[in-house]
Amino acid sequence: MAHSSLAGKRVIITGGASGIGLGVVRFFASQKSQISILDISAASAESVVSSLRSEYPGVTFLSKKCDVADWDEQKRVFAEVYQELGGIDIVFANAGVTELGSFVQKDEGEPTKPNLRTLEINLIGNLYTVKLGIHYLRKNEAAYKGSIICTASNAGIYYFPIAPIYATSKHGVVGAVRSLAKSLELEGIQINALAPAVIATNIAKDRALFDNMILTPMSTAVSAVEEFVTNPKVTGAIAEISGEKFTYREQPEYIDESTEKNLDMFWTLGYA
């Protein structure tokens, strides 16, 4: 469906050269938005952008090499995009990788430092994108300043023993989105997350893995993004992406009234 409100919107998409990022790039291209793809692989981003330019003539695409886990690089790239597009309206913090290394490997001698690169990309890199997104959305003059969407995972909702650091990173994204929403709402900024089940992309080390899985179509992830960016009232939502439809997942019930009241009191008093 075409939404006139999305035409010309300036969109940043991290990890946009492949998979879910690319699926969402195509959605915004179909809406005639202006799209900047940030990806650690400059070559993939460049080649994707050159084919998108012929597929969607008249749509603006930028491609930028950016490792989201590198604050200085990401800060510089956001500044370039802001300069080149004249503003930023929608930020999709999506870049991510699977588990790298094994946290539970046995060490023969001294304990080895864990490989936390997955956390650095999926959680810290994601928070860098959110921080930069907030900074640039605040520059928009209208009362409604724009939308931030983060890609978490259903491994941010359920336990996932094969990839504990991946699960940690995605639980972190869910917690950040839920907790940032209230203060950002006061400034007219939306923040929401996708929590996808299995979508066939290049994230798997071996795509044969998908032969054993019940897959969720890309269109379900895209429909949640479409809802977020066309409904400014939705914020702090976690859309679980499984099957043909997305489903909002609430935080767990409060154990008792005092817990709910105390947590509200931190907010009311303005300090933690």
Ligand X SMILES: NC(=O)c1ccc[n+]([C@@H]2O[C@H](COP(=O)([O-])OP(=O)(O)OC[C@H]3O[C@@H](n4cnc5c(N)ncnc54)[C@H](O)[C@@H]3O)[C@@H](O)[C@H]2O)c1
Q: Which residues of 49-79 are buried (b: 16+ CB within 10 A; e: fewer)?
A: beebeeebeebbbbbbebbbbbeebbeebbe
Catalytic residue status for 166:
yes
Least distance from C-beta 41 to ligand X, angstroms?
4
Report the residue number, 97 or 116, with the smaller CB distance to ligand X. Answer: 97
Report the residue number, 152 or 189, with the smaller CB distance to ligand X. Answer: 152
Beta strands in the chain (DSSP E): 10-14, 34-39, 61-65, 90-93, 146-151, 189-196, 238-242, 245-248
Structure tokens at 166: 């991946």
Please tell me whether residue 91 adopts helix, strand or coil conformation.
strand
Catalytic residue status for 32:
no
Residue 62 contacts residue 107 (beta carbons within 8 Å): no
Spot the catalytic one: 9, 65, 170, 254.
170
Least distance from C-beta 198 to ligand X, angstroms?
4
Report the residue number, 32 or 154, with the smaller CB distance to ligand X. Answer: 154
Least distance from C-beta 229 to ligand X, angstroms?
17
Report the residue number, 107 or 206, with the smaller CB distance to ligand X. Answer: 206
Spot the catalytic one: 106, 166, 205, 233.
166
Least distance from C-beta 30 to ligand X, angstroms?
18
Residue 14 contacts residue 129 (beta carbons within 8 Å): yes
Chain residues binding ligand X by CB under 6 A are 14-15, 17-21, 39-41, 44, 66-69, 94-97, 121-122, 125, 151, 153, 196, 198-199, 201-203
Please tell me whether residue 219 adopts helix, strand or coil conformation.
helix
Residue 98 contacts residue 164 (beta carbons within 8 Å): no
Active site positions, annotated:
166, 170
